[in-house]
Amino acid sequence: MSGITRVLGRTPFYVLTGGLAILFLYPLIWTSISSVSPQPGSAQVDGFGFGNYATLASYQAGVATYLGNSLGITATAVIVTLVVATLGGYAFARFRFPGKDALFLLVLSILMVPYATLLIPLVIWLKDLGLSNTLVGVGLVLAVFQLPFAMFMMRISFEAVPKELEEAALVDGCGSFGALRRVLLPAVKPGLITIGLFAFLAAWNDFMVPLYLVGGDNQPLPLALVNMRQQVMGVIDYGATQAGVVVLTIPCVVLFLVLQRHYVNGFMSGALKG
């Protein structure tokens, strides 16, 4: 009887979570099916097949080129975010220096600035650095916008690690960087995965920054999709667009499913510290 009562008590939870799952998964499932379904004005007119994917693959420089651009931009953004946020979060969590709290608030204040307002100055800045219309330049800009949140996450992740672990490493002969690499980084692994996943999703799907900073064969896949969808006489090729959305979505879904456990643990460690 107690088992039945327990199940009935959790029924509203199952109904709510199941409804939310259907709500979020339905657009993805619908897009996946539509990308191989017959549609007028697309490459897949009769029967089910991969004609829309063939159109996507052969568009201008080819989908492989645009996927490679997206990977280059995303890798730059993720690596820079991880390195800078780890070192900055460690410094804010462990060291004392004048103006530490004010500097940290200044870093967080970037979150309050709409990044679209900074794009024109950044275009000029990248041109002066010789990084105009380059994948590295786009990756650096995207990393800048990810750093405030990443720095915050890494600071609370390092603060959640007992200082005794670091002190024991220092006693054993490790320096600050040795203790960071050997002791602290394994302890804050969930936080690293969390900010890395956030940086990946933001860079992989971003449209506005590449729109301002790159063009031609250097454009990533989201920008290429927008340019491809407009066909003759203003007719939109929905089939190829849906195929592109599926290609864009697959890496995000796979990465999230693989890293889901660490992602949740990263947020939990921050919540417990807060």
**Residue 121 belongs to a domain:** yes
Residues 30 and 58 in one domain: no
Q: What is the pLDDT of residue 86?
A: 92
**pLDDT value of position 273:** 47
Whether residue 192 sits in one domain with residue 69: yes
Task: Identify the three-state secondary structure at position 207.
Answer: coil
Same structural domain, 3 and 86: no
Structural domain including 176 reads 50-272
Query: Which pLDDT does position 41 carry in this prediction?
Result: 66
* CATH code, 76: 1.10.3720.10
Give pLDDT < 50 ranges for the chain: 1, 270-274
Same domain, 137 and 246: yes
What DSSP letter does each residue of 1-22 carry, written as one string? -HHHHHHHHHHHHHHHHHHHHH
| pTM score, whole prediction | 0.83
Q: How many CA atoms lie within 13 A of 111 on its CB side?
A: 11
The Cα angle at residue 82 between residues 245 and 105, in degrees rounded to 5? 105
Task: Check: CB of residue 142 under 8 Å from CB of residue 70.
Answer: no
> Of the candidates 152, 42, 38, 49, which has an alpha carbon nearest to the alpha carbon of residue 106?
152
Angle at 207 between CA 204 and CA 208, to 5 degrees: 135
The predicted structure's pLDDT at residue 255: 86
73: nearest Cα among 81, 84, 85, 83? 81
Residues 30 and 146 in one domain: no
Q: Per the structure, how many domains does the chain have?
A: 2
At residue 271, the pLDDT reads 44
| Residue 128: predicted pLDDT | 87
